[in-house]
Each structure stands twice: as C-alpha cells, then as structure tokens.
Amino acid sequence: MSRYPAIRGLLFDKDGTLLDYAASWPPINREAGLLAAKGDAALAAELLRVAGGDPVTGFALGDCLLAVGNTQELAEAWCDAGSPFVLADLIFALDALFQGSIARMVPVCPLDDLFTRLRGAGFTLGIASSDSIASVTATAAHFGIADTLAFMTGYDSGHGAKPAAGMALAFCAATGLEPAEIAMIGDSRHDMEMGRAAGAGLRIGVLTGAGTRETLEPVSDFCLDSIIELETTLSRN
C-alpha cells in the first residue's frame, strides 16, 4: 500500500537524476569548453571556471550553471566571457555536442526496468530537462524508456525554464493530473524549486548529481541517495 496514495505522476529531471552526473558529464563539459573556446585551452579553462566547472576534471560544482543551466544560459555566459562564437551558433554547436554524447551517458540504474515497474504500479511518468527536447527524446529512446513516458520536455519546448513552474504545469496539463498529484524528482535546487512553484505534492531530491544533502534537504520532502530508493520511499507503510 502506498504511503502517498495521492501521488499518481512522477516527473523526473534527466541529468544527475536518471543519469549519473559524475560518471557521465565531466569529459563532455571539458569538450564543451574547448568547443566554445574554438580550441584555445586557456580560454576553455576560463569558460569552465565561469560556469562553475573544474577546468582540469570538468566536474561541475553543486548547482552551478554547468550543472543546472540550459544551453542558452550557458552559451550566453560563455559569449559574455569571451567565446568567439556568435550566440546562436554556440547554442547550436553545444546542443549538437550534448545530443551526440548520449551513448556515453551512464544511467543511475537500469532505467527500462525501473520505469516499467513504476508504470506497472500505476504511475504516469514524465521527464522535464534543461537539455534540449531532441536530447531528451533521444535519451529516452537510447535507454528504452520512451514507451513508458507520457510526457517529455526540454528547455526549448516552450514551457519556460527551471526553476519556474512551467515545465511541471505542462506535465499536469498533458496528463490530466493536478499538481498535488505529482512528485518532482531531481538532483538540483532548481528541480525542487520548480516543484514548489508548481505546487507539486512531493519534492524528492537525489544525490547523483549537482546537489548535496546540505543543499537539497531544506527544499525537498525526501533526499534520497538515488532513484533506486524511489519505490521503497513511495510505498513505505
């Protein structure tokens, strides 16, 4: 029996939530910096620093632009910091890099098994990401969860950007669920703040990405090590 019978929909962030951030993104962050710097290593290091990333490892510090920003926000910051690209060209190039990196992503767990079980338990599932909708769609296909999803949105889907409520409200509109019937699951404060702004019934932070227990606990109902604990948490008597 569910401890939270009112919760019928689960809206997941992607990076750092379904995908293990530390195992997936540092090398791609480094490549993004070099791309934006057109190969200038010193400028690439500066661009990573500006976005909150370690210039050597590419690891992004908690809740920094590199970890929680969307491509447009990142490209704007990098153009301001000296990237020789025109903004629109940099957005296009970064989105292409990110979309082309899906095969290198490491899932937190076998996502197809988890999502199939969650669907079987009656939950309506969705993904709300600050990545592009093309990347979200391709990620869902790559990991075999597309058929389990009722909703997907990216930063370029027209539902606004986190931490505003738009993406979560679009999930509700698409599925007929009330905000109080959904749980928002994510690795950053932006995800938890979006959940609060939308009136989500539960906000569940996970520690496989940009946040820490210190940053997530104050803004979430639960702070889990990962989505592996989700079923137990939702069904605990």
| Residues forming the site for Mg ion (CB under 5 A) | 13, 15-16, 187, 209
User: By C-beta, is 13 or 20 nearer to Mg ion?
Assistant: 13
User: By C-beta, is 16 or 33 nearer to Mg ion?
Assistant: 16
Residue with tokens 């767990």: 109
* Chain-centre distance for alpha carbon 4: 24
Q: How far apart are CA 174 and CA 7, in angstroms?
A: 16
Please, what is the minimum distance in Å from the beta carbon of residue 84 to Mg ion?
29
Please, what is the minimum distance in Å from the beta carbon of residue 212 to Mg ion?
13
Please, what is the minimum distance in Å from the beta carbon of residue 69 to Mg ion?
10
Using alpha carbons, list the distances in angstroms from residue 95 to 92, 160, 197: 5, 17, 27
- The CB-nearest residue to Mg ion is 16
User: By C-beta, is 50 or 68 nearer to Mg ion?
Assistant: 68
Cβ atoms of 128 and 12 closer than 8 Å: yes
User: By C-beta, is 15 or 95 nearer to Mg ion?
Assistant: 15
Please, what is the minimum distance in Å from the beta carbon of residue 109 to Mg ion?
16
Q: How far apart are CA 205 and CA 216, in angstroms?
A: 6
Closest CA to 20 of 216, 232, 210: 210
How would you label 134-168 residue by residue, b for 16+ Cβ within 10 Å and e otherwise? Answer: ebbbbbbeebebbebbbbbbbbbbebbbbbebbbb
Q: How far apart are CA 19 and CA 142, in angstroms?
A: 12
User: By C-beta, is 14 or 30 nearer to Mg ion?
Assistant: 14
User: By C-beta, is 45 or 219 nearer to Mg ion?
Assistant: 219
Closest CA to 15 of 187, 193, 231, 229: 187
Please, what is the minimum distance in Å from the beta carbon of residue 6 to Mg ion?
25
